[in-house]
Amino acid sequence: MTRTSTEAIVLVGPMGAGKSSIGRRVARELGLPFTDTDTLVVRDHGPIAQLFATQGEAGFREMERGAVQEALARGGVVALGGGAILDPATRTDLGAHHVVLLTVSPQIVKARIQGARRPLLADGDDPVARWEAIVASRSALYAEVADVTFDTSHGPLALVVKDIVSWARHMREGRGIPANGNAWDALSEGTETK
Ligand SMILES: Nc1ncnc2c1ncn2[C@@H]1O[C@H](COP(=O)(O)OP(=O)(O)OP(=O)(O)O)[C@@H](O)[C@H]1O
Ligand SMILES: O=C(O)C1=C[C@@H](O)[C@@H](O)[C@H](O)C1
Ligand SMILES: [Mg+2]
């Protein structure tokens, strides 16, 4: 695949994996613009929980698709909403970008998903079980689009940021890319996976 400078570094993964918080810091380190598709949707249409309530998930996904197109056109570092990869056109678009999958274990995500910000986790009394079911239903799609995976369950956020920045710099120089980002140091002579 021909790589151009308009390619974005796109963070995907489940709710609470750290796409927004890590993406912002990675962009700052690399001196690139940062765009979060959830933020664009809120800017243009209002709070996400309200959109789910009034338009349903399908309505939200349509608005999210527009935000994804705007974010990818801008380039830099992009954090996608957790379910943005459900859209087939978005999955196709991601083939032209560098896609980083962030993962997190259910035990660790428990503390990260408290609060009412995420409407898909608001129903029922066991948000972690709901989160696990959603992740299981999407795992093949996350794997399909990802070039590299970083787990964010262990260690400080700053360490994951450092690893992703290091990976991104190496990749932008056109060198080999290992698919297991957390094993980055050991695998720095690895090969690209797609
Ligand atoms: N090592 C770590 N890596 C990532 N996030 C961490 C880590 N340690 C703590 N956190 C916290 O976990 C939360 C991750 O939430 P964040 O909103 O970034 O996730 P997200 O992937 O963008 O979720 P969503 O899809 O719902 O937008 C943040 O509050 C962040 O500060
Ligand atoms: O995983 C999801 O489907 C979602 C994740 C969040 O980023 C928001 O886009 C919204 O809460 C839905
Ligand atoms: Mg986010």
Q: Please state the φ and ψ torsions of residue 103, each to the nearest 5 degrees.
A: -120, 165
Are 179 and 194 spatial neighbours (Cβ–Cβ below 8 Å)? no
- Element (H or E) spanning 167, and its range? helix 157-172
pLDDT of residue 168: 93
CA distance 92 to 97: 10
Output the six-digit token pair for 165.
């920045």
Q: By residue range, what is the domain housing residue 92?
A: 9-183
Cα–ligand 1 centroid distance for 76 (angstroms): 20
CATH of the domain at 132: 3.40.50.300
Partners of 55 in the β-ladder? none
pLDDT tens-digit readout, 146-163: 999 999 999 899 999 999
61 annotated binding-site participant: yes
Of 62, 118, 121, 139, best ligand 2 pocket probe by most atoms within 8 Å of the beta carbon:
118
Question: Which residue is closest in CA terms to ligand 1's atom 1?
Answer: 157
CA distance 70 to 114: 29
pLDDT of residue 6: 74
The answer to whether the CB of 18 is under 6 A from ligand 1 is yes
Cα–ligand 3 centroid distance for 11 (angstroms): 10
Nearest ligand to the CA atom of 83: 2
For residue 194, tell me if it sits in a domain: no
Q: Which residues have their alpha-adjacent CB atom under 5 A from ion ligand 3?
A: 19-20
- Amino acid of residue 152: T
For residue 4, tell me if it sits in a domain: no
Please give the share of the chain, as a percent, with pLDDT higher than 70: 86
pLDDT tens-digit readout, 173-188: 766 555 566 655 444 3
Are 11 and 77 spatial neighbours (Cβ–Cβ below 8 Å)? yes
For residue 189, tell me if it sits in a domain: no
The CB density around residue 96, as the number of other CB atoms within 10 Å, is 16
For residue 123, tell me if it sits in a domain: yes
Count structural domains, the chain: 1
DSSP state of 179: S
